[in-house]
Amino acid sequence: MIVLFYFDWFGPAKELNELAKTLAAAATKGSGIKYKGTYAPDSRKFHFVSMFETESYDKLMETLMNPKNPPRDYKKLTHGTFEILRGPLKQ
C-alpha cells in the first residue's frame, strides 16, 4: 500500500530537508517501509506530501511515532493528515 502524509510546513527550507532526512531514516529502521520522498502537491490544500510504501499502516505509525525520533516542532509542522492507498488492484 501507499501512504501519503499531507502536511503544512512553516519553517525554513533547510529544516524541511532535515525533516525529509528524518523521515527517510525512520523508514529505514522499520522493516517493510520505503520512503519515496517529499513532494509539493498541486491539487491539495497542504504545502507538502511525503510518500511511503508499506505493507502495514500500523507498522508505519509505530515507526514514525517512535520516541527515539526527534520531537515534532508544532510551530513548524502545524498539522497534517494521512491518506492510505490500497493496492495495486488485481486485474
Q: What is the pLDDT of residues 6-27, one digit of tens each?
A: 999 999 999 999 989 988 988 8
Predicted confidence (pLDDT) per residue in 25-40, tens digit? 888 887 889 999 999 9
pLDDT band for position 85 (cuts 50, 70, 90)? very high
Residue 81 has pLDDT above 90, yes or no: yes
| Structure confidence at residue 89 as a pLDDT band (50, 70, 90) | confident
Q: Cα–Cα distances in Å, from 26 out to 44, 45, 49?
A: 25, 26, 16
Domain ranges of the chain: 9-85
Distances (CA, A) of 79 to 38, 55, 88: 16, 25, 28
pLDDT at 16: 93
